[in-house]
Amino acid sequence: MKNINPSEISSILRKKLENFNLEENTKEILNIGNVIEVRDGIVRVYGLNDVFYGEILQFNNNIYGIVLNIEEDSIISALFENINNVKEGDKVKKTNKFLTINVGKSMLGRIVNTLGKPIDGKGKLEGDLFEIPLEREAPGVIYRQPVYEPFYTGIKFIDSMIPIGKGQRELIIGDRQTGKTTIAIDTIINQKQFYNTNNPVYCIYVSIGQKNSSLANVIKILEENDALKYTIIVSSNSSETPLMQVFAPFTGTSIGEYFRDIGKHVLIIYDDLSKHAVSYREISLLLKRPPGREAYPGDVFFLHSRLLERSAKIIENDNIFSKMNGFPKSIKKYIKSGGSLTALPIIETKEGDISSYIPTNVISITDGQIFLEKDLFNSGVRPAINDSISVSRVGGAAQIYSMKKVSGTLKLNQAQYKELEAFSSFGSDLDEKTEKMIKKGKLNVELLKQDANNPYKISYQIAVIYLCSQDIIIPLNKIKKFEKEYLKFLKKEKNELLKKIDNGFWNEEIINDLNKVIKKVLKSV
Ligand code: ATP
Ligand code: MG
């Protein structure tokens, strides 16, 4: 050591550093950090600069995470998958990107995960794919048009009394096992009639936090009804990380927006947002965010509202439309106006309590709710819709004339019947008029019952709802058989008439025709 000359050292160092490009070299270093703590898929990373909230980070073995907290000297990220494969000391790389997925028409008929990757074993997505962000600002008011086009669920009760329009958000809410998923699935099946028309409706079913067996059952029903070909399933089941579950509805919405923005009509189902809120809570707890406005439960409102705000019916004006911001450049040339995204979020209640935090949030964000009741379901009234607290705040404007005409007073009549029935249970003597109303109400309840996975075309629905407005003398136990024969007869003999009703016509001639059919069929049952 003695014989080293300090001036020699400085000259060697100077020589070594001569070609050192400070900017180039530090850039590489600042883009790479180290894992200093891992716990339940939550990772603390040290050494990354200029990270932004929501940025995607790349860990070893192509594992990805997202930045959820930025602290003074470290950041906290949550992992999407393979949470056990990240260790302390691993390197972490910045990607400078928000979360995106690749979307395209070839997604129809496929099952994808939250990251947009197919998981059905049918291979890669083919054809043109566009990279779009998972979170996009909802379209502003000048790009939206009011709800005016009907959206058919195929369920008599809903299309007649709680009508939905394209672009609307209608909540399906009820206790567990009350037929919530069935309503959503039947609505998907009902879109089959539009598949080969100029106006197909594509469907997206987002499964959040469900058991694999429940989703398998949904897929089976869709396959059996040949409805998978126009449907995309986004799956994030209970076995996946809470992060995958939290982002799944956003993935579904982004796919829906792609189809909406190329001028198509889209239905999206979130099954269900209660489990979504639970996953979100899990993340909040793991991140040790204190409860309050900026964390669960306060910010779950923001989470659900920014999700549901993206459902809309877009105006039909190509000029303004092309200026609409937030479009990824890659799909701009395919953009067409007039598409829509209609949402049916599902919420599970406990003991019918709709006044707890998450249900009230989603009720206030949506344009109405379909409330399913356990008691009705168990007494055999299916779909088990409670007509007094189920509403659609905007869909009435979208109902076609014929349906509006026949269903006009049905809701009121049924409400009156319910009251009279409750009153009559005290055993008092009833006058003839009251007795008649109760009888009629009971018949209508039967007429409004509908089997699972059996959606009706709109003309069939109108024909049945017309029965609800007429005095039909028939015993209660024969009404279902009558309905079946009546529809069979119409289908076989009265195709022209059904077509007219389908197109919204309603006049004396149609009424006379139907009355004749009713008389005839009544004789045969
Ligand atoms: P969960 O809370 O478990 O998600 P859910 O509220 O989604 O349940 P579904 O799974 O749709 O309820 O329905 C529960 C059961 O009731 C199913 O077996 C379904 O087939 C049956 N069901 C639902 N609707 C009807 C109907 N209209 N007619 C006959 N059976 C029905
Ligand atoms: Mg369900």
Amino acid 66 reads I
> Could you tell me if 459 and 485 lie in one domain?
yes
| Ligand 1: centre distance to CA 386 (Å) | 15
Tell me the Ramachandran region of residue 263: left when phi exceeds 0, alpha when psi lies from -120 to 50, beta otherwise: left
- Taking 70 as the threshold, does the pLDDT of residue 185 lie above it? yes
| Ligand 1: centre distance to CA 180 (Å) | 6
Give the ligand with the smallest distance to the CA of 174: 1
Q: Tokens 């989470």 correspond to what residue?
A: 303
| Ligand 2: centre distance to CA 327 (Å) | 34
Confidence (pLDDT) at 318: 66
H helices present in 112-241, as ranges? 156-161, 180-190, 212-224
User: In this prediction, what percent of the chain has a pLDDT beyond 90?
Assistant: 77
- pLDDT tens string 307-320: 999 999 998 876 65
The CATH number that applies at residue 520 is 1.20.150.20
CB atoms near residue 400 (< 10 Å): 20
With cut-offs at 50, 70 and 90, classify the pLDDT of residue 337.
confident
The span from the CA of 406 to the CA of 470, in Å, is 10
The CATH number that applies at residue 65 is 2.40.30.20
Q: Which of 158, 171, 181 to mutate to test the pocket of ligand 1 (most atoms within 8 A of CB)?
A: 181
CB contact burial 83-120 (16+ within 10 A = b; e otherwise): beebeeebebebeeeebbbebbeebbbbbbbbbbeeee
The span from the CA of 303 to the CA of 323, in Å, is 27
- Among 252, 274, 246, CA closest to 362: 274
> Could you tell me if 198 and 111 lie in one domain?
yes
Q: Are strands 171-174 and 32-39 parallel, antiparallel or unpaired?
A: unpaired
Q: Is residue 6 part of a domain?
A: no
Give, using CA atoms, the residue closest to atom 8 of ligand 1. Answer: 177
> Could you tell me if 176 and 46 lie in one domain?
no
| Ligand 2: centre distance to CA 27 (Å) | 50
| Ligand 2: centre distance to CA 290 (Å) | 31
Confidence (pLDDT) at 159: 97
Instruction: Indicate the pTM of the whole model.
Output: 0.93
The secondary structure of residue 457, as a DSSP letter, is P
Confidence (pLDDT) at 321: 58
373 CB burial (10 A radius; 0-12, 13-18, 19+): buried
- Taking 90 as the threshold, does the pLDDT of residue 297 lie above it? no
Amino acid 196 reads N
Give, using CA atoms, the residue closest to atom 13 of ligand 1. Answer: 179
Token pair of 65, please?
Answer: 């995470």
> Could you tell me if 414 and 365 lie in one domain?
no
With a CB cutoff of 8 Å and minimum separation 6, the contacts of 187 are 153, 154, 155, 203, 267, 269, 344, 455
> Could you tell me if 393 and 302 lie in one domain?
yes
The CATH number that applies at residue 110 is 3.40.50.300
Q: Which of 156, 173, 176, 182 to mutate to test the pocket of ligand 1 (most atoms within 8 A of CB)?
A: 182
**Is residue 297 reached through a cis peptide bond, with omega within 30 degrees of 0 on the bond before it?**
yes
Last residue of a domain, one of 94, 111, 129: 94
- Among 440, 392, 405, 468, CA closest to 156: 468
What SS3 state is found at 217?
helix
Confidence (pLDDT) at 424: 80
Q: Give me the number of domains the chain comprises.
A: 3
Give, using CA atoms, the residue closest to atom 22 of ligand 1. Answer: 179
- DSSP-assigned beta bridge partners for residue 183: none
Q: Is residue 10 part of a domain?
A: no
Highest mean pLDDT among 315-319, 329-333, 501-505: 501-505
Q: Which of 158, 171, 177 to mutate to test the pocket of ligand 1 (most atoms within 8 A of CB)?
A: 177
With cut-offs at 50, 70 and 90, classify the pLDDT of residue 421.
confident
**Nearest ligand 1 atom, CA 271:** 4
The span from the CA of 209 to the CA of 40, in Å, is 17
Q: What mean pLDDT do residues 162-183 have?
A: 97
- Among 324, 303, 380, CA closest to 68: 303
> Could you tell me if 88 and 104 lie in one domain?
no
- Among 110, 106, 331, 327, CA closest to 204: 110
The span from the CA of 189 to the CA of 6, in Å, is 84
**Nearest ligand 1 atom, CA 450:** 27
Q: What mean pLDDT do residues 318-344 have?
A: 74
H helices present in 206-297, as ranges? 212-224, 242-261, 273-286
Q: Tokens 């509403």 correspond to what residue?
A: 391
How distant is the alpha carbon of residue 20 from its chain centre? Answer: 55
> Could you tell me if 294 and 232 lie in one domain?
yes
In this structure, the chain runs to a length of 525
Q: Is residue 8 part of a domain?
A: no
| Ligand 1: centre distance to CA 205 (Å) | 16
- Taking 80 as the threshold, does the pLDDT of residue 327 lie above it? no
Q: What mean pLDDT do residues 428-450 have?
A: 90
Last residue of a domain, one of 73, 94, 115: 94
Token pair of 396, please?
Answer: 């009435």
What SS3 state is found at 65?
strand
Give the ligand with the smallest distance to the CA of 380: 1
With a CB cutoff of 8 Å and minimum separation 6, the contacts of 353 are 359
Q: What mean pLDDT do residues 39-62 have?
A: 93
Confidence (pLDDT) at 311: 96
Q: Is residue 290 part of a domain?
A: yes
Give the ligand with the smallest distance to the CA of 178: 1
Contact status, residue 103 vs residue 53, Cβ threshold 8 Å: no
Token pair of 55, please?
Answer: 């940025």
Q: Is residue 509 part of a domain?
A: yes
Residues, CB within 5 angstroms of ligand 2 (ion): 180-181
The verdict on whether 281 is a catalytic residue reads no
**Nearest ligand 1 atom, CA 185:** 11
- pLDDT tens string 282-294: 999 998 887 776 6
Last residue of a domain, one of 44, 63, 94: 94
Q: Please indicate whether residue 432 or residue 213 has the higher confidence score (pLDDT).
A: 213
Confidence (pLDDT) at 8: 84
Distances (CA, A) of 15 to 8, 22, 369: 11, 15, 75
Q: Is residue 12 part of a domain?
A: no
Q: Which H helix or E strand runs over 94?
A: strand 91-94
- 482 phi and psi, to 5 degrees? -60, -45
Selected catalytic residue, list 110, 144, 306, 393: 393
> Could you tell me if 106 and 253 lie in one domain?
yes
Q: Tokens 């309590």 correspond to what residue?
A: 353
**Nearest ligand 1 atom, CA 449:** 27
Q: Is residue 7 part of a domain?
A: no
Q: Is residue 3 part of a domain?
A: no
> Could you tell me if 412 and 473 lie in one domain?
yes
**Nearest ligand 1 atom, CA 210:** 4
Distances (CA, A) of 99 to 202, 455, 504: 24, 38, 45
Confidence (pLDDT) at 251: 98
Task: For residue 408, give its domain range.
Answer: 403-524
> Could you tell me if 195 and 265 lie in one domain?
yes
Least confident of 11-25, 107-121, 235-249, 473-487: 11-25
Confidence (pLDDT) at 131: 92
> Could you tell me if 202 and 329 lie in one domain?
yes
With cut-offs at 50, 70 and 90, classify the pLDDT of residue 396.
confident
Confidence (pLDDT) at 250: 98
Distances (CA, A) of 333 to 137, 177, 203, 293: 20, 45, 23, 41
Give, using CA atoms, the residue closest to atom 26 of ligand 1. Answer: 452
Q: What mean pLDDT do residues 87-91 have?
A: 94
With cut-offs at 50, 70 and 90, classify the pLDDT of residue 45.
very high
Confidence (pLDDT) at 2: 60
CB atoms near residue 242 (< 10 Å): 23
Token pair of 186, please?
Answer: 């039947």
Give, using CA atoms, the residue closest to atom 21 of ligand 1. Answer: 179
| Ligand 2: centre distance to CA 183 (Å) | 9
Give the ligand with the smallest distance to the CA of 221: 1
Pocket of ligand 1 (CB under 6 A): 174, 176-182, 348, 382-383, 450-452
- Taking 90 as the threshold, does the pLDDT of residue 490 lie above it? yes
- Taking 90 as the threshold, does the pLDDT of residue 425 lie above it? no
The span from the CA of 428 to the CA of 143, in Å, is 58
Instruction: Tell me the helix, strand and coil percentages in the chain, rounded to 5.
Output: 45, 20, 35
> Could you tell me if 78 and 194 lie in one domain?
no
